[in-house]
Amino acid sequence: MARRIAAGAAYGGGGIGLVGAAAVGIFLAEVQLAKRSVGGGRAPVPPPADGIYGMPPPGPGRPADPPLRLAMLGDSTAVGQGVRRAGQTPGALLASGLAAVSERPVEMRNVAQPGAQSDDLERQVTALLTDPARRPDVCVIMVGANDVTHRMPATQSVRYLASAVRRLRAAGAEVVVGTCPDLGTIEPVYQPLRWLARRVSRQLAAAQTIGAVEQGGRTVSLGDLLGPEFQANPRELFGPDNYHPSAEGYATAAMAVLPTLCAALGLWPETDRLDAARDEGILPVAEAAAEAAAEAGTEVTAARAPWALLKHRRRRRLPTPTEPATPDAARG
């Protein structure tokens, strides 16, 4: 049961099911009311961002490097709902950053679905793996918020995620999971429901960390969408519906995920050597999951069982967002 919903004792209790059905029902009603009264309707869904990023300039006699293949899976956060341009989505931002670091073109494919819960990951993984010639080198999964708001049991949610990570790893792909964001940062939600939303979100994030790491993936805690600046500037980092991130919010999240994405492919200049000055260490996986859930932007990577590496990688600025090129254009 993902260590009893992953070190729930760190938050003073057990799993999501122990919060209480009545309290959860009140919270959900409050969230829906807040979205209707403050959000002003649905956030826009950006145009498709699939394509090639970081195409090198043509050169005589220079062989073309084959593109790295990046896939995005998950819910509306992975799609980039809330922005209007393809280049502002997390997939485009991560593909552009990965191309800059690797000095190779990156082909990005997004199979995420707005509104998806973790049970949709099975379909998304199947879509990615159907064509062996297009199987990804690395995948980013961002999912969990809808599991909380739709009251999916946490054990079930983690089981779906772990299965997805296991299938992708078996197919040869590296996997980075951006764990459940902190729904307590939604601006129209007030206390005590803000506290409840934060508690439930962190418990699921910790459980997701254990489930993903034990299947060979890496995780980055999205928490309050990665940084104290999110709470300090909610109107800048939330989108027009006050629920999905803005372009600045997605860029903040992408900056935190990119170092782990590159490290998974062996491209990041930092190694997995730990830096005690940055509060990094080797911890039991359940303890590492609980600490990561409490501090946004923290990476957890498997070590020798039952241990895990807890890291705080240095972020770098992303390149200027670009629009994708088609695969045909990349082939010249």
pLDDT tens digits for range 36-57: 544 445 666 788 899 999 876 5
**CA 96 to CA 105: how far, in whole Å?**
9
Range of the domain at 241: 2-55+66-330
Give domain status of residue 234, yes or no. yes
**More confident site: 329 or 88:** 88
The answer to whether residue 219 is domain-embedded is yes
233 within a domain of the structure (yes/no): yes
pLDDT at 15: 40
144 close to 181: Cβ distance less than 8 angstroms = yes
Closest CA to 27 of 198, 196, 224: 196
Asked whether residue 60 is assigned to any structural domain, the reply reads: no
Q: Which of 50, 76, 118, 201 is catalytic?
A: 76
Residues 250, 281: Cα–Cα separation, whole Å: 28
Which of 26-30, 77-81, 196-200, 328-332 is the least confident region? Answer: 328-332
Considering 50, 96, 137, 244, which one is annotated as catalytic? 244
What is residue 215's predicted lDDT score, i.e. its pLDDT?
A: 95
Q: 175, 181, 208, 195: which is closest to 290 by C-alpha?
A: 208
The CB density around residue 89, as the number of other CB atoms within 10 Å, is 31
Sign for the CA dihedral angle at 200, 204, 206, 207 comes to positive
Q: Measured between alpha carbons, how far is 320 from 167 in angstroms, rounded to an integer?
A: 33
Cα(111)–Cα(128) distance, integer angstroms: 8
What does the pLDDT look like over 307-323, one tens digit per residue?
Answer: 998 988 877 677 776 67
Task: Pick the closest to residue 188 from 39, 82, 41 (CA basis).
Answer: 39
**In this structure, what CATH number is given to the domain that contains residue 221?**
3.40.50.1110
Q: Is residue 268 part of a domain?
A: yes
- The stretches of 177-268 forming alpha helices (DSSP H) are 193-213, 228-232, 234-237, 247-264
Residue 138 in any domain: the answer is yes
In a domain, 61, yes or no: no
Whole-number pLDDT of residue 63: 58
Catalytic-labelled residue, pool 102, 119, 163, 241: 241
pLDDT at 44: 67
Contacts of 166 (CB under 8 A, 6+ apart): 215, 216
Residue 275 annotated among the catalytic residues of the structure: no
241 as an active site residue: the answer is yes
- At 224, list the tokens: 């309050």
Q: Is 163 a catalytic residue?
A: no
Q: What is the DSSP letter of 133?
A: G
Segment among 5-14, 212-221, 246-255 with least mean pLDDT:
5-14
Instruction: Give me the residues paired with residue 300 across strands.
Output: 219, 310
Helix axes 154-170, 193-213, angle to 10 degrees: 30
Please compute the mean of the pLDDT values over residues 138-166 and round it to a whole number. 92
Amino acid at site 94: L
Structural domains in the chain (count): 1
Residue 12 covered by a domain: yes
